[in-house]
Structure 1
Amino acid sequence: MGPTEKLGESVRAVDRALEILMAFTATDHQLTAGELLKRVDLSRPTLYRLLRTLEHSGFIVSSGDPQRFELGPSVAHLAHVWSSSLDIATLAQPMLRRLWDQTGETVALLVHQGNSRICVAELPSAQPLSFKRGLGYREDVTLGASGRAILAHVPTPESYLNKSGETVDVPAYLDRLQQIREQGYAISRDELIQGAVAIAVPFFLGDDKVMGSLAVFGPGVRVDQARVSVFATLLKEEARKLSQALGQR
């Protein structure tokens, strides 16, 4: 079997596993294998193979005799991540709106998840020349201003480096994070999008755990160093208000 065929099989397996997870509902949260077979178009051996895989990853748990299946703790973890992000996005709307009004550029809220940061709220600039990432946009947390603003405040940032085959000068990168901590914001120019400038500031939970970053994106022709300083000041103030709303003293 060639690489393309293997990839196709892997994608089909993922689709089938998702069909199994989506077969459960609020009123049918426990199902037998026979009940699942009525809801998904799978053979019994394939169903059991996928159930074993999902159970191993914590997405399914089984109990009883006859055996019944239900959603497991990994699903609860994803639901928690999603609901937490959604709550923060709602809470941050006044801060994002003020930043949008004051800067005239695209503003975004990004949350830290694993090795990534994810855009959970965005107000695109109304100007013809502008940049935006889009809701759900995910990028490595080591890249870009919005990622480094987060990474500068995690306990062991070096553990996130050199994960994807790239070679990073770790001491130089950590020095850069120290500079971000000292100045209170991160900046990138022409890094992930040619011609774009990004300025980002972290926000925190009540226990001072970094949760994500607020960011402003704009074209370099408008966002010169003077405007970077202005935007950074505005971002710091709104990030402070968001952190206070999340319980930080």
Structure 2
Amino acid sequence: MDEPSVTGTQSVFRALSIMHAFNAARSTLTGPEVAELFGYSPPTAYRLLRALEAENFLIYDPNARSYSPGPEILRLAGVMLHRDALVAQTQTTLIRLRALTGETVAIYWRLGNKCTCTQEMPSPQPTRIEAGIGVDFPLTRGAAGKALLLDLPEAEVRDLLAEPDVPAPIGGARTLLAELTAARKRGYTVSGGETIEGSVSIAAPIPWVRQGLAAYSVIAPESRFGPRERDAAARTLVEEMARLRSILQGNTPH
């Protein structure tokens, strides 16, 4: 027997929850998987999946009997890319950062209580570190995640740490809060091996219309990213953020 009828708002949230379930490690979903993941009955799971397919948010593979993200997502991404000058500028900054540092650079977005790699340009060097586009990391681990917390008041950081789906920071809450305080003064965060073994990364938030939405990251093998190289890359990162902020302020309508 199916669940009782739900409101339109509940249906929207259920459909969005299915979209959120896709990630780099789970690029397809079947009806039974959705039912098990969210506790829906099979008819409810298929009704939601077919509604998303009808609007091109999902596509269905009849051979595998599975659903995957569809072309409507690309259309919306295109709208965003053409919405303002920021996206184009962030791409330009990503190219500049890789050229100036010689290391892998990436943009991470905050999606819920995780940070997700949405753009990445690998280092041209044969030995390099890559996160992978679409890969999620906790906000409490790694330079990128912590960079997304820099603009949050301490009370909000503590509230975040109390949420059940957020892993405890390495060293505990007090250590994380101290790290964020130091990072705010210098303009960037630093992490060693917290998300990818053998790596060192630095990150800084993008001066977006809403703070804490996205961040740049530079990541390299620990063996090549010692204090001197890391400090040089950090100076470059901070300078690029200042340059980007100046450009965006110049493009802001008065």
Report the TM-score, using the length of structure 2 for normalisation: 0.65
Instruction: Give the Cα–Cα distance (whole angstroms) in 1 for the partners of residues 177 and 128 of structure 2.
Output: 31
What is the aligned-residue RMSD (CA, Å)? 3.5
How many Å apart are 1:194 and its aligned residue?
1.2
**Matching residue of 1:225:** 227
**Matching residue of 1:94:** 92
**Matching residue of 1:3:** none
**Matching residue of 1:10:** 36
SS at the partner of 2:126? coil
User: Which of 226, 239, 242 is the equivalent residue of 2:241?
Assistant: 239
When residues 135 and 189 of structure 1 are mapped into structure 2, their CA distance, relative to the original with a 3 A threshold, is same
Does 2:204 correspond to 1:201? yes
User: Which of 135, 140, 143 is the equivalent residue of 1:142?
Assistant: 140
When residues 246 and 116 of structure 1 are mapped into structure 2, their CA distance, relative to the original with a 3 A threshold, is farther
**Matching residue of 2:111:** 113
| Correspondence list, 1:1-249, <5 A | 9-10=35-36, 14=45, 17-24=48-55, 84=80, 88-155=86-153, 156-163=156-163, 164=165, 166-168=167-169, 169-206=172-209, 209-247=211-249
- CA deviation map 1:154-197 (0-9, x unaligned): 23222221433744532332111111111211111121111111
Provide structure 1 residue ranges, at least 5 long, that are not aligned to the other structure: 1-5, 26-38, 42-75
2:36 corresponds to which letter in structure 1?
S
Instruction: Give the Cα–Cα distance (whole angstroms) in 1 for the partners of residues 88 and 135 of structure 2.
Output: 18
Instruction: Give the Cα–Cα distance (whole angstroms) in 2 for the partners of residues 95 and 130 of structure 1.
Output: 20
When residues 225 and 180 of structure 1 are mapped into structure 2, their CA distance, relative to the original with a 3 A threshold, is same
When residues 162 and 152 of structure 1 are mapped into structure 2, their CA distance, relative to the original with a 3 A threshold, is same
Instruction: Give the Cα–Cα distance (whole angstroms) in 2 for the partners of residues 109 and 241 of structure 1.
Output: 17
Instruction: Give the Cα–Cα distance (whole angstroms) in 2 for the partners of residues 7 and 204 of structure 1.
Output: 39
1:18 corresponds to which letter in structure 2?
L
1:149 corresponds to which letter in structure 2?
A
4+ residue runs over 6 A deviation: 79-82
Provide structure 2 residue ranges, at least 5 long, that are not aligned to the other structure: 1-31, 63-71
SS at the partner of 2:48? helix
Instruction: Give the Cα–Cα distance (whole angstroms) in 2 for the partners of residues 245 and 201 of structure 1.
Output: 17
- CA deviation map 1:188-214 (0-9, x unaligned): 11211111111111122256x233211
**Bigger-Rg structure (1/2):** 1
- CA deviation map 1:143-163 (0-9, x unaligned): 110111110212322222143
2:232 corresponds to which letter in structure 1?
V
- CA deviation map 1:25-53 (0-9, x unaligned): 6xxxxxxxxxxxxx9x9xxxxxxxxxxxx
How many Å apart are 1:16 and its aligned residue?
5.0
Number of residue-to-residue matches in the alignment: 197
- CA deviation map 1:36-92 (0-9, x unaligned): xxx9x9xxxxxxxxxxxxxxxxxxxxxxxxxxxxxxxxxx9xx97895488654331
Report the TM-score, using the length of structure 1 for normalisation: 0.66
Instruction: Give the Cα–Cα distance (whole angstroms) in 2 for the partners of residues 166 and 128 of structure 1.
Output: 33
